[in-house]
Structure 1
Amino acid sequence: MSDQGARAQRRTEDGWWGRVYQGPTGALPDTPDAGPGEGSVDDWFDSVASIVAPEDGGGTAAGTPEAVTPPPAAPPAPPAPEVAEVAEVAEVVEVVEVVEVTAVADPAPTITIPAQPVAQRPPSYGPEPTLLPAAVPERITAVVPDTVLEGAQYPGFTLRAASVRGDSPRHRGEPRTDALLVTRFGEAPDGLLLAVLGGRARIPADPRAEPDPERQLTDDTIRQACAHLAEAIGRSHAELAADLREGARDRLRYGLQRLTARAAVGLRALAPEAGSLHCLLVPLDPAAGHRAAFGLGPGGLYLLRAGHWIDAYAARLLHHPDGPGEAPEPRPFRFRLVPAGPGDILLLCSPGLAEPIAGEPAVAQFLATHWAHPHPPGTVDFLRQAQVRAKGFAEDRTAVALWTD
């Protein structure tokens, strides 16, 4: 086994990971206000996450909304136990037969995915791809597939990831601009799994203006930014895994902020909000109790605990019964160290999915219903569920979900 993660090497002043922390936080490009401040946001998140304890959900059906929970069977009538027993057996046999037929045809949780929308208003576009993007012979290797699907399972967690072209780009014949990179560096206990999401921000433009190719963010730039960030993390994955094991919040925040700013130089060269870059880090050590998520630009980090969605970046409950609260202004660099709780589901996603989860309660409820089961969905089912449709949300979607055992 490599000694890359040895404690004696990790804390040396001339180590690469140690040099990442040199310089004040305010000197970073595009991150003037990304310092930890008084730590109030972290305290808010800890407070919000503790409201719904992991034990309440138990990682099982307790996180499932009451609307889909079958009512308890009525007790048999005392005067005629024989008749009641026969009736109960008949009901059980009938239910088993229905379940078997449904399972062979199509599992019930996926029959409305993605053809039928969950919201009241129907989407403007069809659920299936229409036009293929045009290709250039000289750049045939740059062709981007419509859909990318990833999955992994390690002791303590299961990961599902997907990136799919939106209904609107499919209708217009445009390529998928979201990027997804999922990989692993090293082996446990110093190994690290990471998922990097990149995308092009939807900036309102003057429809009368002529498009300027030099001012347009290319798909290659987005994917290069994802690769640069993954490469930088891979060079110090053992040190990062040790910091995650220790829960070194401030050290991780400072170092990952610098790595992200360097990787996103080309991504944000045209405009500060031209693109987004987010990453999820998961240690392979089963004893490590934290995951880290961070990034620049639009995107969402949500925690599903006991059937309730928490906006982890903003440290607030989504779809509160008292009405939606005012969302805080996002910082240029967003970071969250999330303690892993049994039954928790952590979701990092691009704006194409983050916006409908936050803006359409039916979408959030749909995903909570299908994901709060004892077992994570398969990769194909996860793709179908991530494509849940609602009017007004037709852009590319990229999602990385982590189920904690």
Structure 2
Amino acid sequence: MTFDWTPPLIGATGPESPARAPQTQPYRPDTVIDGWAAAGFEVRAASVRGPGHRASGVPRQDDFALATVADSVIAVVADGVSNAPLSHLGATVVCRTVVDYLLRADAAIDWHDLLRCAGWALVEYAGRQLGETDPQRAETLLASTVVVALVRPDGPGRAVAQLVRVGDSAAWRVRDGSWEPLFAALSDPQDELLPDGVAALPRVPAEVDPVEVAIAEGEVLVLATDGFAEPFGHGTGDLGRLFTDGLATPPPMTRLAWMLDFAGGSWDDDRTVLAVWPVSPAPS
């Protein structure tokens, strides 16, 4: 059986350029994928360098992290701000810091403290690189958005997720083919924005209230960066149909990466998608 690995075309054909190796150290791969089954859950994730960064040799600025703790799933997606030259490293620092925090946290999560620690990790990282602890310098070099979900079991085939974010990454609950956004449209106060109008760590909102959502078997929680969310829109176009069908059940990891490597139009940003399905235990 053969499979056509040509990237799915969304909209009109765009300009094609050969991919250049990322001009950065340490080396950062073009594409990363992950997926596994845990007690009560299936997860899949992929992060793909966009055509624009492939053509220019810029490293993939998105990242994600997955972990389990006490039968729950920790899911994190981060997107380095384009104008920050080391934001690809910032996205990784944020993902790892969030996972480490939640692995050590008590049952009641202090979500503001979680984001504050993730932001301060960027300041400390910049300090190790530059020999000075300067939040403004860390912001200039490493700024990153983040969306975090802690997904707890709530009975066979059911789960409850709590989510927080800083920036324009997105999250949905998908059920019966409908994509329900879990965050309202951005309306951040000006003092929480970077000079270019982007909300990102290390800046943390004054108040952080998690969104809580129930997820049942047959539904899926999806987190994504804006490189996916913007072309996806309301999910009514070709990309929406591709992912509605493709995420109806947990796909092979390589298929998710193939779907995410869509081409066409002017959509050239890095794109990351992470999905969590609650599942009932197999009959014994």
TM-score grouping bracket, smaller chain normalisation = 0.7 to 0.9
TM-score (norm 1): 0.55
Q: How many residues align?
A: 246
Q: Is the 8 A contact 2:159 2:278 kept in 1?
A: no
Q: Is the 8 A contact 2:10 2:265 kept in 1?
A: no
What is the aligned partner in structure 1 of residue 43 from structure 2? 159
Specify whether residues 402 and 345 from structure 1 end up closer, same or farther in structure 2 by C-alpha distance, changes over 3 A only. same
Specify whether residues 289 and 371 from structure 1 end up closer, same or farther in structure 2 by C-alpha distance, changes over 3 A only. closer
Specify whether residues 221 and 202 from structure 1 end up closer, same or farther in structure 2 by C-alpha distance, changes over 3 A only. closer
What is the aligned partner in structure 1 of residue 118 from structure 2? 263
In 2, Cα distance between equivalents of 1:221 and 1:404: 30
Per the TM alignment, residue 122 of structure 1 is displaced from its structure 2 partner at its CA by 1.5
1:309 maps onto 2:179 in alignment? yes
In 1, Cα distance between equivalents of 2:221 and 2:68: 18
Q: How does 1:362-381 map to 2 (within 5 A)?
A: 362-372=238-248, 375-381=249-255
TM-score (norm 2): 0.76
Specify whether residues 342 and 183 from structure 1 end up closer, same or farther in structure 2 by C-alpha distance, changes over 3 A only. closer
What is the aligned partner in structure 2 of residue 348 from structure 1? 223
1:168 maps onto 2:48 in alignment? no
More helix by share: 1
Paired residue secondary structure (1:356): helix
Q: How does 1:134-149 map to 2 (within 5 A)?
A: 134-135=23-24, 139=25, 142-149=26-33
**Residue 151 of structure 2, aligned match among 277, 282, 286:** 282
What is the aligned partner in structure 2 of residue 191 from structure 1? 71
More strand by share: 2
- Which of 1 and 2 has greater Rg? 1
Specify whether residues 134 and 388 from structure 1 end up closer, same or farther in structure 2 by C-alpha distance, changes over 3 A only. closer
In 2, Cα distance between equivalents of 1:334 and 1:166: 32
Q: Is the 8 A contact 1:201 1:298 kept in 2?
A: no
> Gaps (5+ residues) in structure 1?
1-103, 204-214, 244-251, 315-326
**Residue 124 of structure 1, aligned match among 3, 10, 15:** 15
In 1, Cα distance between equivalents of 2:116 and 2:95: 12
What is the aligned partner in structure 2 of residue 297 from structure 1? 167
Q: Is the 8 A contact 1:347 1:400 kept in 2?
A: yes
> Gaps (5+ residues) in structure 2?
124-134, 190-204, 280-284
Q: How does 1:91-130 map to 2 (within 5 A)?
A: 104-106=1-3, 111=4, 114-119=6-11, 121-125=12-16, 130=19
Q: Is the 8 A contact 1:118 1:366 kept in 2?
A: no
The letter of the residue matching 1:289 is: A
Per the TM alignment, residue 293 of structure 1 is displaced from its structure 2 partner at its CA by 2.0
In 2, Cα distance between equivalents of 1:352 and 1:114: 20
Per the TM alignment, residue 266 of structure 1 is displaced from its structure 2 partner at its CA by 5.3
What is the aligned partner in structure 2 of residue 226 from structure 1? 95
The letter of the residue matching 2:265 is: K
Paired residue secondary structure (2:74): strand
In 2, Cα distance between equivalents of 1:263 and 1:397: 21
